[in-house]
């Protein structure tokens, strides 16, 4: 199967958000494939409207394959189903998300999933996560994918990396999801209701 990858980039009123972090991840992915020739991703983004858009750039080792634009509607998240999988690997942003999609199908009545690997929390199906306790926001050190928003907030020291065991979840008072489209989105945390076993 052909390895293809993608970047999801926020574009609003023709402004491209945090492109340097997407460029860095794109180059890191190609370096892992032994490639050292890169394209300037920003030069491929020509938003067709001034509305809030999700720009999806698909690429492989040979180059940029497509650039697509989608209207964006934020998904409402009020609960996460804890899903356990010790074998999942998603260290690069592959277009093939079959494993994640199959885990997502197990969410039952919840809005999304929170993947637990080897006893530690990692990511949801679409976002990194951060948890708040005693004045500090923490993000799992053992993440599946190094998200661009997560990396930006680590760099600015808004969040701290920490191994978080699944049994520690209920000791946190706030939760936030992080991705390119929602940035740092603090969720309403109902004790016992937000994280569903």
In whole angstroms, what is the distance from residue 171 CA to residue 27 CA?
Answer: 38
Residues 52 and 89 reside in one and the same domain:
no
Q: What does the pLDDT look like over 79-121, one tens digit per residue? A: 999 999 999 999 999 999 999 999 999 999 999 999 999 999 9
> Mean per-residue pLDDT for 45-70?
96
Q: How many angstroms separate the Cα of 41 from the Cα of each of 50, 86, 118, 148, 149?
A: 19, 34, 36, 14, 17
Structural domain containing residue 143: 80-196
173 shares a domain with 154: yes
Looking at the fold, whether 139 and 175 belong to one and the same domain comes out as yes
DSSP-derived secondary structure for 60-87: ETTEEEEEEEEE--PPP-S-EEEEE-SS
Same domain (yes/no): 102, 135: yes
Interatomic CA distance for residues 137 and 174, integer angstroms: 9
pLDDT band at 197 (very low <50, low <70, confident <90, very high): confident
- pLDDT tops 90 at residue 193: no
**Which of the four pLDDT bands, split at 50, 70 and 90, describes residue 189?**
confident
Q: Tokens in use for 173?
A: 């008072």
Whether 44 and 92 share a structural domain:
no
pLDDT bin (cut points 50, 70, 90) of residue 190 is low
**Mean pLDDT, the chain, as a whole number?**
95
Same domain, 91 and 156: yes
Mean pLDDT of 14-36: 96
Instruction: Give yes or no for residue 23 having a pLDDT over 60.
Output: yes
- Tell me, what CATH number does 43's domain have? 3.30.470.10
Which run of H or E residues covers position 103?
helix 98-104
Question: What tens digit of pLDDT does each residue of 150-172 get?
Answer: 999 999 999 999 999 999 998 99
pLDDT digits over 176-188, tens only?
999 999 999 998 7
Q: Could you say which of 71, 92, 127 is where a domain stops?
A: 71
pLDDT bin (cut points 50, 70, 90) of residue 191 is low
Q: Which of 71, 91, 122 is the last residue of a domain?
A: 71
CATH number, domain with residue 192: 3.20.10.10
Do 40 and 109 share a domain, yes or no?
Answer: no
Q: Please tell me whether residues 65 and 150 are part of one structural domain.
A: no
Angle subtended at Cα 95 by Cα 155 and Cα 48, rounded to the nearest 5 degrees? 80
Q: Residue 187: its pLDDT value, please?
A: 84
The number of C-alpha atoms within 13 Å of 56 and in the hemisphere containing its C-beta is 12
Residues 195, 168: contact at Cβ < 8 Å?
no
Number of structural domains in the chain? 2
Give SS3 for 197. Answer: coil
CA 68 to CA 25: how far, in whole Å?
19
């Amino acid at each position: 199967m052909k390895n293809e990858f993608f970047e999801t980039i926020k574009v609003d009123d023709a402004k491209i958000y945090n492109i340097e972090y997407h460029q860095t991840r794109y180059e890191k992915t190609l370096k892992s494939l032994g490639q050292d020739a890169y394209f300037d991703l920003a030069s491929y983004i020509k938003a067709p409207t001034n509305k809030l858009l999700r720009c999806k750039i698909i690429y492989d080792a040979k180059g940029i394959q497509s650039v697509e634009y989608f209207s964006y509607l934020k998904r409402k998240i009020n609960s996460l189903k804890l899903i356990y999988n010790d074998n999942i690997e998603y260290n690069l942003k592959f277009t093939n998300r079959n494993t994640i999609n199959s885990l997502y199908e197990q969410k039952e009545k919840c809005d999304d999933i929170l993947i637990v690997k080897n006893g530690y929390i990692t990511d949801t199906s679409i976002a990194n996560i951060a948890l708040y306790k005693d004045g500090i926001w923490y993000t799992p050190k053992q993440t599946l994918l190094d998200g661009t928003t997560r990396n930006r907030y680590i760099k600015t020291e808004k969040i701290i990396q920490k191994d978080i065991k699944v049994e520690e979840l209920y000791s946190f008072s706030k939760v936030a999801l992080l991705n390119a489209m929602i940035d740092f989105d603090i969720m309403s945390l109902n004790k016992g209701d937000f994280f569903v076993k």
